[in-house]
Chains A and B, each alone.
Chain A
Amino acid sequence: MKRLVILGAGTAGTMVANKLRRRLPMDEWQLTVVDRDDIHLYQPGLLFIPFGTYRPDEVRKPRRRFLRDGIRLELGEIDRIDPVRQTVALDGGRVIGYDYLVVATGTSPRPDQTPGMLGPEWRKSIFDFYSYEGSVALAGALRDFRGGRLVVHIVDQPIKCPVAPLEFTFLAESYFRQRGMRDQVELVYATPLSGAFTKPIASAQLGGMLDERKITVEPDFLVERIDSERKVLVSYDERELGFDLLVTVPLNMGADFIARSGLGDELNYVPVDKQTFRSKEHPAIFAIGDANDIPTSKAGSVAHFSTEIFVDNFCDLVEGRPMTRAFDGHANCFVESGDGKALLIDFNYDTEPLPGEFPIAKLGPLSLLRENARNHWGKLAFRWIYWHLLLPGRRLPLPARMSMAGKHQPDKEN
């Protein structure tokens, strides 16, 4: 029997396990998935919990329920990978051998990496919303907030779901307006980037939306530490930014066992070929989803599109054929903008998010880079799609490769 081991049963790991279980013969391949617990978190839902749109129990389900028959789930903390012996050691002495290894352990917020963040104000006036506990705690803090300065803050790039802090800001603005207390809340968006977003056209559009809502942007702000006694963020260039309530996105890092195994870069991401996700150092290792260092968004849509490419390539590889499919960096994200509306952005390694329309077979087009209610309903419908179609590895009517159909190049129209 050949052994495929997948580390992590999140979005990417679960999809890959299910897709490959259908394509690799049962009598030739043993498939093992390793995770630390049996709780699958619907991460896009964390954004909505602070505003009461989702209940906490709507975003968590057992991992096991989403893994097909014939996939073994091992629960335990990963100690390290030995890429020479081709083994994975778990805490407590269990060792699992592999012929091929897929690292899908994602990226995690690390509040411990910014001095002062985990001080006495943590989850009193300093919150994150990228963890289940943080998001649930923040719901209470928003409910009790009586006004003052709310700072939404990003420690550094890359982060998973890079549009989520903007979405949180738009939703907070709308939330306070609907509660009739918008004029008692000063909203500040502090980012290490020079604008609202990285790519020029989307940055201008999203920056304009922040302006319209009277949200101040503090650009090029790279935090060095938090002085929790004075409730102040201090940047490396010695700017100070006070807050009454801080919603921060801590530094994102890959899993520590990747560093212990000598497989990571400076943020514990596995360096891979950006078209095939094969480790640059170890040909039996692949890293997918947020765990690798490919230069595109760390987002569920990227995990989805890239696993389709990966699965086809992997089947070719194990049957002795060359891997012929190449990932183009395709990402596709709904951006909630408050008041029951959202935008949609669609882009890849080479093409930035552009305005226009995004065609979907049978359902009709969604508009790109423009707010409307249809996009918002699309985002909410996605939760059902995620549990019932995406995780089981069923095909969605979305191409893995980005298409230019419907998109407008503003400079070419002038």
Chain B
Amino acid sequence: MPVVTVGPATVHVDAEGFLTQYDEWNEPLARQLAARIGIELTDEHWKAISFLRADYPAHGETATLRRVSTLAGIPIKQLFVLFPGKPAKKMAYIAGLPKPRGCV
């Protein structure tokens, strides 16, 4: 697994840049990752990111858009506004979680 430097931190990532170690993530790092894909994190972004972080250890998978929408109460439409283009991937990237598997 490659190791990269993000701001002051050194983290393990996969070939596409998604963090591979759950515990290497912290909030300042999330801000740095978000900035790399042109997103400045607001409270609304944090609501989604915090849900993903809390859900992952219990669920064992990165939450899908529909899961975030239903369980965190953020409409899918709004997730597309907050994380334009590919919201599921962008949220996972910022939250330091594996790329959502999209299903088989």
Contacts and interface: CB of A to CB of B under 8 A. Distances in A.
Interface of A: 156-158, 162, 192-194, 198-199, 220, 222, 224, 236-237, 265-267, 271, 295-297, 331, 347
Contact of A236 (B70, B80, B101): B80
B76 to A, nearest CB: 6
Contacts of A265: 67
Contacts of A222: 65, 76
Contacts of B76: 222, 224, 236
A198 B66 contact: no
B1 interface: no
Contacts of B80: 236-237
A156 B84 CA distance: 18
A296 B85 contact: no
B85 A162 contact: no
Given A266-B66, A266-B70, A237 B84 contact: yes
A222 B77 CA distance: 10
Nearest to B89: A194
Interface in B62-104: 64-67, 69-71, 76-77, 80, 84-86, 101-104
Contacts of A295: 61, 101, 103-104
Contact of B102 (A157, A271, A296, A297): A157
B77 A224 contact: yes
A297 B101 CA distance: 12
B102 A198 contact: yes
Q: Which 9 A-B pairs have the closest CB atoms?
A: A157-B103, A266-B70, A158-B103, A236-B80, A297-B104, A266-B67, A198-B102, A237-B80, A296-B104
Contacts of A199: 104
Contacts of B67: 265-266
A200 to B, nearest CB: 11
B86 A158 contact: no
B103 to A, nearest CB: 4
18 contacts: A156-B64, A157-B102, A157-B103, A162-B103, A194-B86, A198-B102, A198-B103, A220-B85, A220-B86, A222-B76, A237-B80, A237-B85, A265-B67, A266-B67, A266-B69, A266-B71, A295-B61, A295-B103
Interface string B27-65: 000000000000000000000000000000001010011
Interface residues of B, number: 19
B104 A236 contact: no
A198 B88 CA distance: 14
B42 to A, nearest CB: 19
Nearest to A238: B80
A331 B104 contact: yes
A148 B91 CA distance: 38
A162 B86 contact: no
Given A237-B80, A237-B85, A193 B102 contact: yes
B24 to A, nearest CB: 23
Contacts of A237: 80, 84-85
Contacts of B86: 194, 220
A237 B86 CA distance: 9
Nearest to B75: A236
Given A162-B103, A297-B104, 16 more contacts: A157-B64, A158-B103, A194-B86, A194-B102, A198-B102, A198-B103, A198-B104, A220-B86, A224-B76, A224-B77, A236-B76, A266-B70, A267-B66, A271-B59, A295-B103, A347-B104
Nearest to A265: B67
A266 B69 CA distance: 9
Question: By CB atoms of chain A within 10 A, which of B69, B70, B101, B104 has the most?
Answer: B104
A337 B70 CA distance: 37
B7 to A, nearest CB: 28
Contacts of B59: 271
A271 B71 CA distance: 15
Nearest to B65: A222
Contacts of A267: 66
Contacts of A271: 59
A261 B71 CA distance: 17
A297 B85 CA distance: 26
